[in-house]
């Protein structure tokens, strides 16, 4: 069998608190570039890997919340990526196909065909977009904003972690819908991006607003109709004070809480009653049947230059652990991607 070297990012041990680079190891394994006898799997060459905040949750030792499977120490991380099919035992895929879906943090992966989400059809866009704009984060922004948020023209929208993989799209979708949209992010540069490149009506640096409630009152004197929740904790508590009657809180993520042993307490939930608010969590995986509709919405806008997408691309698997860890200090500017190979 033709064995080749296969570099991997392996979880050393379960993580508590903030993840560190040293929680992961780069190890050199080997893999056969032939499908094992009787396999019904697909052999992938990984091109782009996606750094996603939820990966931190899988690094904890815990009974995973339903539907989640935590990582196993000693094994490579798993996650979303873009890959090329080298061999396939499954009729839906053939050698040379480009796909995006679940793969592993290594150069070559053998994965069940069921983990591949989609064959890539549009290749006249950067392939890396299938980890972001045209991949899971794009679908997350689309499903969360439209299907859960049910936005109406003229509504006031607030997005946290607004310059990130998901947030930057929510802001742009909000503008396409005729909403007024404000974003918060963790640095001056990100705020500039939001205002000058990503089309947000305004933006602020939450780290420079010790009084978040006051800041929101300034930016939303009439209150918030839709809050696209990416961070949780104190931000959510301040938002609850500033929601409008019949507002909606789209609970996409709570990245500020993932590293805490005990999550911060949210005290203003009685506003859900006073203001008849719908606060709804969702998982993008429940909406993948909308992917074709999403592409119809978004691909023409990309071609016409109406959508901007900011990526933060690092080269090589060695740089994957710091890139992943960097999500939790806001080191990434835009969608955090790792390139392993360009084709």
Among a second copy, ligand NAP, none, residue 196 binds (CB under 5-8 Å by kind):
none
Which among 5-13, 15-23, 302-310, 330-338 is the span making contact with ligand NAP, rule CB under 6 A?
A: 330-338
CA dihedral 284, 340, 77, 37 (to 10 degrees): 100
339, 316 contact by CB (below 8 A): yes
Q: Which is nearer to ligand NAP, 6 or 50 (CB)?
A: 50
Helix axes 167-176, 188-196, angle to 10 degrees: 30
Binding map of ligand NAP across residues 39-78, x = CB under 6 A, - = no contact = -------------xxx------------------------
Classify strands 278-281 and 243-251 as parallel, antiparallel or unpaired. parallel
Nearer to a second copy, 237 or 312 (CB): 237
Question: CB count, 10 Å around CB of 156?
Answer: 22
Residue 313 burial (10 A CB sphere; 0-12, 13-18, 19+): middle
CB 202 within 8 A of CB 179: no
- Report, in Å, the least distance between residue 151 CB and ligand NAP: 17
| CA distance linking residue 329 with residue 79, whole number of Å | 20
Restricted to residues 213-252, the positions that interact with a second copy (CB under 8 A) are 232, 236, 245, 251-252
Count of residues interacting with ligand NAP (CB under 6 A): 31
With CB under 5 to 8 Å by kind, the binding choice for 39 among a second copy, ligand NAP, none is none
Strands 335-339 and 311-315: parallel
* Contact predicate 50/133, CB 8 Å: no
The answer to whether residue 330 forms part of the interface with ligand NAP (CB under 6 A) is yes
**Footprint (CB under 6 A) of ligand NAP, residues 253-312:** 253-256, 273, 282-284
Of 151 and 167, which has the nearer Cβ to ligand NAP?
A: 167
Q: Name the minimum Å distance from CB 277 to a second copy.
A: 5
Can you tell me which of 31, 43, 157, 185 binds ligand NAP, judged by CB under 6 A? 185
Q: What character string, x for contact with a second copy (CB under 8 A) and - otherwise, covers 65-104?
A: xxxx------------------------------------
Decide: 77 and 51 in contact? Cβ < 8 Å.
no
Give how far Cα 180 sits from Cα of 28, 208, 237, Å.
Answer: 50, 22, 21
268 binds, among ligand NAP, a second copy, none (CB under 5 to 8 A by kind): a second copy
Give min distance, CB of 88 to ligand NAP, in A: 27
Among residues 101, 5, 96, the alpha carbon closest in space to that of 49 is found at 101
- Picked from a second copy, ligand NAP, none, the partner binding residue 199 (CB below 5 to 8 A depending on kind) is none
Which stretch in 9-17, 29-37, 263-271, 326-334 sits in contact with ligand NAP by CB under 6 A?
326-334
Nearest residue to 101 (alpha-carbon basis) of 85, 79, 122, 84: 79
Neighbours of 321 (CB within 10 A): 23
- How near is the Cβ of 68 to a second copy at its closest, in Å? 7
Backbone angles phi, psi at 84, to 5 degrees: -110, 140
Residues that bind a second copy (CB under 8 A): 65-68, 232, 236, 245, 251-254, 257, 262-283, 286
Residues that bind ligand NAP (CB under 6 A): 52-54, 137, 140, 161, 163-167, 185-187, 190, 230-231, 252-256, 273, 282-284, 327-328, 330, 332, 335
């Amino acid at each position: 069998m033709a064995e080749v070297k296969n570099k991997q990012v392996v979880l050393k041990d379960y993580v508590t608190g903030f993840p560190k680079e040293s929680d992961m190891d780069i190890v050199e394994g080997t893999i056969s570039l032939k499908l094992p006898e009787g396999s019904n799997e697909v052999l992938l060459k990984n091109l782009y890997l996606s750094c996603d905040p939820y990966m931190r949750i899988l690094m904890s030792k815990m009974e995973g919340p339903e539907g989640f499977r935590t990582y196993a120490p000693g094994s490579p991380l798993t996650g979303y990526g873009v890959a090329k099919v080298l061999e396939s035992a499954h009729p839906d895929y053939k050698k040379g196909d480009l796909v995006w879906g679940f793969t592993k943090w290594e150069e070559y992966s053998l994965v069940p065909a069921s983990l591949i989400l989609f064959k890539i059809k549009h290749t006249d866009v950067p392939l890396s977009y299938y980890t972001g704009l045209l991949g899971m984060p794009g679908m997350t922004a689309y499903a969360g904003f439209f299907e859960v948020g049910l936005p109406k023209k003229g509504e006031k929208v607030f997005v946290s972690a607004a310059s990130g993989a998901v947030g930057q799209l929510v802001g742009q979708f909000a503008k396409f819908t005729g909403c007024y949209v404000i974003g918060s992010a963790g640095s001056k540069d990100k705020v500039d991006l939001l205002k000058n490149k990503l089309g947000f009506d305004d933006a602020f640096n939450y780290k420079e607003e010790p009084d978040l409630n006051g800041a929101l009152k300034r930016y939303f004197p009439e209150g918030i109709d839709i809050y696209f929740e990416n961070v949780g904790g104190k931000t959510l508590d301040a938002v609850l004070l500033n929601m409008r009657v019949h507002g909606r809180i789209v609970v996409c993520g709570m990245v500020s809480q993932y590293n805490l042993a005990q999550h911060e307490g949210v005290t203003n939930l009685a506003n859900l009653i006073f203001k008849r608010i719908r606060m709804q969590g969702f998982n993008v995986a429940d909406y993948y049947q909308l992917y074709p509709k999403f592409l119809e919405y978004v691909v023409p806008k990309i071609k016409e230059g109406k959508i901007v997408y900011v990526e933060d691309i690092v080269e090589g698997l060695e740089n994957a652990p710091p890139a992943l860890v960097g999500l939790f200090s806001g080191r990434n500017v835009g969608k955090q991607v790792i390139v392993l190979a360009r084709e």
